[in-house]
Amino acid sequence: MKNLLERINKLKQEKNAIILAHSYQNIEIDEVADFVGDSLYLSQKARDTKADIIVFAGVYFMAQTAKIISPEKKVLLPNLNAGCLMADMINLNQIIEFKKQHPNLPVVCYINSTAEVKSECDICCTSSNAVEIVKSLKASKVLFVPDANLGKYVESQLNDVEVVTYNGCCPVHDNVTEQNILDARNKYPQAKILIHPECKPTISSLGDYIGSTSGIIDYVKNSQDNQFVIVTEKGVADRLKRDYPDKEFILISNNMLCESMKLTTLEEILYSLENEVNEITIDEDIRKRSSNCIQRMLKVSK
């Protein structure tokens, strides 16, 4: 393990490379990551880095986003099978058809989507800035793709905006049930329940805090409470347990596991960086159009 870490870190220096890791990754990835966080944070780091190579420990749409923002850089995805079930729920033809069904409305695209889908949207968002992004449009009605749960959460936070959602979701978050929350309340009455807005709105409303990956982590950091029920992917709970050993963290369900996020290994990171394989490429017309979508978001969320 130590030798593996040393080899990766040495290659990063030799090749002027950085490693970006999402908070849902296996926790040992943090040992070599330059930045660990949620989609917005990693998008900003991809934009600002002076590195020549970006190794993205995440899933396909995240590596695509890095390439869209930084076309001059080589972006590597250590495991090309690391996809996103939500992103796969909508393709180019489906977004075009959805827009035809609801003409002349601004389209907000959750970052959990492909470059092709982003190329047909007006502005991107993440779970941490979705409310801010929709509000910035100053529109009474917007389209939101592909996550219906996040879209409806945004609508619940903005009294004067109707959010028309595409019928997509994150299966991991969508499978959380009301009974899961009620059981947690009964078993851990002193615990704060922290819920990701990719859960159904009926679930989110039962929490003490609703927020993105980074929002949940920040809530714990700033809280005087000592017990928390975590209602998002297991990687977040793992990092909280590591970083706050004096506090107790309960994962809402053993099913809170994104298998795609767990595919990437340290060995694959080493191999991809050593051989510069699994490079992300995007059609230039698609890249430019999807870049407009992302850049508008980054201007709002600086």
pLDDT in tens, 25-44: 999 999 999 999 988 789 88
State the total domains in the chain: 3
Between CA 258 and CA 232 the distance in angstroms is 10
Share of residues in the chain with pLDDT > 90 (%)? 95
Assess whether pLDDT exceeds 80 at residue 148.
yes
Segments forming the whole domain that contains residue 196: 173-257
What's the average model confidence in pLDDT over 270-277?
98
SS3 content of the chain, % helix, strand, coil (to 5): 45, 15, 35
Report the C-alpha gap between 135 and 202 in whole angstroms. Answer: 22
Alpha-carbon distances, residue 272 vs 267, 268, 281 (angstroms): 9, 6, 15
Mean pLDDT to the nearest integer, 181-202: 98
pLDDT in tens, 161-180: 999 999 999 999 999 999 99
- 137 and 178 inside one domain: no
State yes or no: pLDDT of 279 exceeds 90: yes
Tell me how far apart the alpha carbons of residues 117 and 98 are, in angstroms, rounded to a whole number. 11
Region 65-82: what's the mean pLDDT?
96
- The letter for the amino acid at 196 is H
Same domain, 24 and 70: yes
| Same structural domain, 162 and 92 | yes
Same domain for 101 and 65, yes or no, is: no
Determine, yes or no, domain membership for 295.
Answer: no
Query: What CATH number corresponds to the domain at position 160?
Result: 3.40.50.10800
Residue 268 near residue 63, CB atoms below 8 Å: no
User: How far apart are the C-alpha atoms of 151 and 127, rounded to whole Å?
Assistant: 10
Q: Residue 257 and residue 234: Cα distance in Å, rounded?
A: 6
**Considering only CA atoms, which of 279, 185, 272 is closest in space to residue 7?**
272
Q: Is the pLDDT of residue 285 over 90?
A: yes
Residues 168 and 91 placed together within one structural domain of the fold: yes
Residue 101 identity (one-letter amino acid): Q
SS3 assignment, position 176? coil
Per residue in 241-258, pLDDT (tens digit) is: 999 999 999 999 999 999
Residues 6+ apart with CB under 8 A from 23: 36, 37, 38, 213, 214, 217, 233, 235, 236, 239
Question: Cα dist. 238→230, 243, 301 in Å?
Answer: 10, 9, 27
So what's the pLDDT on residue 2? 75
Whether residue 284 is predicted with pLDDT greater than 80 in this model: the reply is: yes
168 shares its domain with 98: yes
pLDDT the model gives residue 1: 72
Indicate the residue among 117, 137, 172 that finishes a domain: 172
Give the per-residue pLDDT at 124: 97
Output the pTM of the full model.
0.94
Q: Which residues pair with 18 in a beta bridge?
A: 54
Residues 51 and 93 in one domain: no
